[in-house]
Structure 1
Amino acid sequence: MTAPFVEPGAPSVPATGAEAALREEVSQLRQEAERLRRLLETAATVIWTDRLGDARSPISPSWTAFTGQPQEALRNRGWLQSLHPDDRERALAAWEAAKAGRQLFSTRYRLRRADGTYVWMLARGMPVLGPDDTVHEWVGTCIDIQAQALGEERAAFLARASELFSSSLDPAATLASLANLSVGTLADWCIVDVLHSDGHFERVQVVSADPALASLAAAVQRLPPVPRERPVYPPAVALATGRSTVVPEVTDALMEAVAQDPNHLEAMRTVGIRSLLTVPLLARGHILGALTFLVTTSGRRYGNDDLQFAQELANLAALAVDNARLLQGARDAIRLRDEFLSVASHELKTPLTPLSLKLQALSRAVKAHPDSPLAPVIEAHVETGHRQVRRLTELMNDLLDVSRISAGTFRLQREDVDVAEVVREAAARFAPRFALEHCDFRVDAPVPVHGNFDRARLAQVLDHLLDNALKYGAGTPVSVRLVVDGSLARITVRDGGIGISPEQRPRLFERYGRAVSERHYGGLGLGLYLTRTIVEAEGGSVSVDSRLGEGATFEVELPLTRS
């Protein structure tokens, strides 16, 4: 529709009611269009349009303003050149699929800003259909989602870092994993400095994202971060004071100011540091080291958000390193303890041998004078001494076995063994002790049961189980039974004693594990641990069935045939 013709100089003709209404409607549409345009400009970083068949298409002044890419360069898919190379193929596939299906175009990609920095964008577009139901135009927006994408990226990075930290209990391996994980994602270079417990500093890791710079990285690693009295070099500041440093733009003047010596200055210039971030590794109030991240090639510049994230990462790493060091210290303490127990066991056994010989000589002397009124008293004391020597010898042997297990020198010497005979011999050794405790003691091992076992160790298993029954089932019926079940020999030791609570059973076969207080029952808590170790070394298993106050039944299964 066109406006009515009016001759020049002719008086104006008042508009008809229909024309006035039309003009009002056009005005409102223009206002609505302007409002929508301003709303889009507020909500989106870039607004674009692609008019099909238009030689100027696509048109986007805001794209040009954001990326610096000239308008004419957008044609023939030229807009893809402003996307990160890793995102171009995916973005083009989404665009072609949307056009083919005349559906919503939606994808995420990194768009290069005019200063060279890539920013994550959410790109969305919709087709505009004409009266003939064909696509006349595409309109869309690019919304800055850098903060969201960076948050997702950092959360994923922390999750991956936590996974790596938990997979290693070696401090050096933990820090090496962190350095390798960081380059390419957080930095072009990562430097790890460590403060050792003895007070000396060591540069333990230097990693570059470019493998071709390995020799330069090795040279940087040879530069120790020894703090001066007033340190200014960022890693030295972190190691000496626990303070972080972020330098968005590293200048040559700054490098000169922080260099520790001419070699250090030359190394920094060769690396080509553009931005720097250093955070301390802190755990339990102690400085464990420092992490330094360098930007050397990209347009990225570190800021306070990066500093906060780096400190969070450093806290995770410091916790992992501290835990690894604590674990290593605990392992060293256990190793020293086991070495001490081994030496102590040998040393304690040394005087037991002559003591045992003296007791035997005294026993013979008493028997040579049976009419002496002191003979019965001395004989009783000698027997008590023999029992205590045997008990001490058993305890020393248990400690020696634990030391052998810890050292990995525990071995079996297998031979053809009649298990029934071993059971009866063990029962005969314990029968007098059960009689003293007024225990009804029964043995059921009537027929030979042959297998290939270490006879001495098998006897040791029975000794520990019977000793356990005697200790916790004194005054109650005790039985030991041997049966054959297919290819298994099953030994069962049952007592009617105090029993074991369900929560105590899992730790019963652990080293120094106890189900009761050591105040009321003696021993080292090693018998059942050694029993399990021996039985499992023989290819068998040991279990317990018990209820508090209802006694306990220990069952040992041993294979009679070996594959």
Structure 2
Amino acid sequence: MTSSQPDPSLSLSAPASDTEAALREELATLRDEAERLRVLLGTAAQVVWTTRARPDTNPVSPSWTAFTGQAPEAMRNRGWLQALHPDDRGPTLAAWERATATSMRFEARYRLRRADGAYVWMLARGMPVLEPGGDVREWVGSCIDIHTQCLAEERAAFLARAGELFASSLDASATLASLANLSVSAVADWCIVDLHLPGGHYQRVQVVAADPSLAPLASAVRELNPMPRTNPVYPPAVALATGQSTMVPEATDAMLEAVAQDPHHLVMMRKLGLRSLMTVPMLARGNILGALTFLITTSPRRYGDEDLKFAQELANQAALAVDNARLLQDARDAVRLRDEFLSVASHELKTPLTPLSLKLQALSRAVRAHPDSPLVPAIESHVETGHRQVRRLTELMNDLLDVSRISAGTFSLQREDVDLAAVVREVCEQFAPRFALEHCDFTVEIPDAVQGSFDRTRLAQVLDHLLDNALKYGAGTPVSVRLTVDGTVARLRVRDGGIGIAPEQRPRLFERYGRAVSERHYGGLGLGLYLTRTIVEAEGGRVSLESRLGEGATFEVQLPLARP
């Protein structure tokens, strides 16, 4: 009977054994999950860390110690901040205090000092581990290397800023000086700029050190010749001579001895304390314009292939800016030489016009002394044609001289009390025979008098250009001149019924040598309206145009009658 009774100890031990097995299995699963998590964190992050909620406890992170070389005890009481770049400690501490105060996620980007002294950008993230009651038991987190990404962002921003510098000035010297100063704050401890000047000369134009106290040494380095007389091995000389770049990740004294141009040069390089360097050529349109040299002397970083690519891209931008500046200067020099030539040519061409005009006048008097001669009509016609051509050539020479004066900054006005109506009347009377010859209906509407303070000769020149323009492009059509007064403003309108002006041609019509039609069909130098605008604006007025293609043109000159 008793043997048939169940054993109480057996009935209790079986469930206990099952529970222990389940617990062991669960613990094994947790250990596996923890190991997988540890391996995952080790794969995804360079540094994994954990720290208790109390600030006086030691963070636990063998990977932090291995990466930074910082001893575990040095991390106590937020000593881990000392491994960060000084500029990043404040923002990182503020982010950590916000996270611990609110028990929310911690995230910060900072530069972490590696054991070799180099700083590496890290993305740090941490999460609180909570007790059952909701209090924070500890923090766990990781630091992920984002140095490549941050470096790319920094370089893109640097290139954009350099591009703004290059675009803001067409003075090559000022641009390169700005670039050198910008570089020593982000790329190097020293920046050296050498240029290949026109004529085959070489010049060291910029030497900038990040440390202002090294200015005397920088001046001495600037005096060094960038191009030696013998076969170049000095990196800047190699770039200037061959267009090849050079990178030295770790500079040694043996290397300095090998590239030194002379004993003095070797002494100067040793004074710099050179640790790493790279030199890249500035190339544009197949020409070597110069070279950029970047030196590391105090920073723990060393240059690599990515740095060389970045430096070459920067040098390409600099070369484009230098090339554009030189092209602009060449264009300015060409314009200056052209204006000088036009000025000289105008004077030289006017010299024979004076005696020619006198000869024509003498011939005219001689013809009038023999009125009965059958040759008088033909001679008078020829003489008048000669006078007309001399006047025209004189006007062209005067226009060229005015352009030269404007370019040289010597153009000026001689103001006096002037009756504007009288000036308009006088010029129109001179043009009336020419309009009659071209069968143009020429009408003039002007008041009795319009008083103002102007340069009389220049005002006559303005109307002369406008009427000459109307005669040229409106031949055979009605031409009108109208002078009115609107308050303190005089308005002079010249209208013709000629070919008109297309809208796209109007913006350049008042520019120097500007034309709306081909010079093959209409003569002139393209200076009349340019001089008109210059004179009117110098008088404090403005000139405007209304026109439609095929329907003529109306020019209006507004001149102030009262001056401050």
Conserved? CA contact 1:227–1:239, under 8 Å: no
Residue 173 of structure 2 is matched in structure 1 by 172
2:10: which partner in 1? none
| Structure 1 contact 193–202 (Cα < 8 Å) conserved | yes
Output the CA distance in 1 between the equivalents of 2:353 and 2:365. 18
Partner residue in 2 for 1:428: 429
How far off its partner does 1:228 sit?
Answer: 4.2
Of 170-179 and 410-419, deviating more is: 170-179
User: Within 5 Å, which residues of 2 pair with 1:135-534?
Assistant: 135-534=136-535
Contact kept, 8 Å, 2:279 with 2:291, in 1: the verdict is yes
Q: 1:345 to 1:138 in 2, by over 3 A?
A: same
What is the identity, as a one-letter code, of the residue corresponding to 1:513? Answer: G
Deviations 1:111-138 (A, max 9, x none): 1000000111111111122111111111
**Residue ranges of structure 2 left out of the alignment (5+ in a row):** 1-12
1:188–1:297 CA contact under 8 A, matched in 2: yes
Q: Please, what TM-score do these two structures have when normalized by structure 1?
A: 0.96
1:184: how far off? Answer: 2.4
One-letter identity of the residue aligned with 1:312: E
Contact 1:190 1:292 (C-alpha < 8 Å) held by counterparts: yes
SS of 1:77's partner is helix
Aligned-residue offset at 1:49: 1.1
C-alpha distance in structure 2 between counterparts of 1:522 and 1:240, whole Å: 51
CA distance in 1, matches of 2:55, 2:346: 95
Whole-angstrom CA distance in 2 between matches of 1:318 and 1:144: 34
Q: C-alpha separation between the residues in 1 aligned to 2:26 and 2:370?
A: 137
1:80 corresponds to which letter in structure 2? L
What SS does structure 2 have at the residue aligned with 1:76?
helix
Q: Which residue matches 1:6?
A: none
2:539 is the counterpart of 1:542 = no
TM-score relative to the length of structure 2: 0.96
Q: Which runs of 5+ in 1 are unaligned?
A: 1-11
- Conserved 8 A contact 1:227-1:237: no
- Conservation of the 8 A alpha-carbon contact between 2:228 and 2:261: no
Partner-residue secondary structure (3-state), 2:364: helix
SS in 2 for 1:413: coil
Judge conservation of contact 2:423–2:460 (CA < 8 Å) in 1: yes
Whole-angstrom CA distance in 1 between matches of 2:51 and 2:108:
17
Shift of 1:60: 1.2
> Are the aligned partners of 1:483 and 1:489 in contact in 2 as well (CA < 8 Å)?
yes
User: Residue 276 of structure 2 aligns to which amino acid in structure 1?
Assistant: S
Using the aligned pairs only, state the percent identity.
78
Q: Are the equivalent residues in 1 in contact too, given 2:346–2:400 (CA < 8 A)?
A: yes
The separation in 1 between residues aligned to 2:261 and 2:15, in whole angstroms, is: 87
For 1:413-432, what per-residue CA distance to the aligned partner results, in whole angstroms no more than 9, with x for missing partners? Answer: 11111111111111111111
Aligned-pair CA distance for 1:274: 0.2
Which portions of structure 1, spanning 4 or more consecutive aligned residues, are displaced by more than 2 angstroms? 12-26, 53-57, 227-230
CA drift at 1:173: 1.6
For 2:418, what is the secondary structure of its paired residue?
Answer: strand
Match of 1:8 in 2: none
SS of 1:507's partner is helix
User: 2:206 and 2:233 mapped to 1: Cα distance?
Assistant: 21
Distance, in Å, in 2 between the alignment partners of 1:412 and 1:141 is: 78
Larger mean CA deviation between 27-36 and 304-313 belongs to 27-36
Q: What is aligned with 1:62?
A: 63
SS in 2 for 1:237: helix
**CA contact under 8 A between 2:55 and 2:78: conserved in structure 1?**
no
Q: Residue 19 of structure 1: CA displacement? A: 3.3
User: How many residues in Structure 1 have an aligned counterpart in Structure 2?
Assistant: 552
Equivalence for 2:3: none
| Partner SS, residue 86 of structure 2 | coil
Which segment drifts farther, 200-209 or 243-252? 200-209
Instruction: Summarize deviations over 1:293-331 as a string: whole Å, max 9, x none.
Output: 000001010011000000000000001001100110110
Deviation at 1:548, TM superposition (A): 0.6
Whole-angstrom CA distance in 2 between matches of 1:54 and 1:559? 80
Q: Which residue of 1 aligns with 2:53?
A: 52
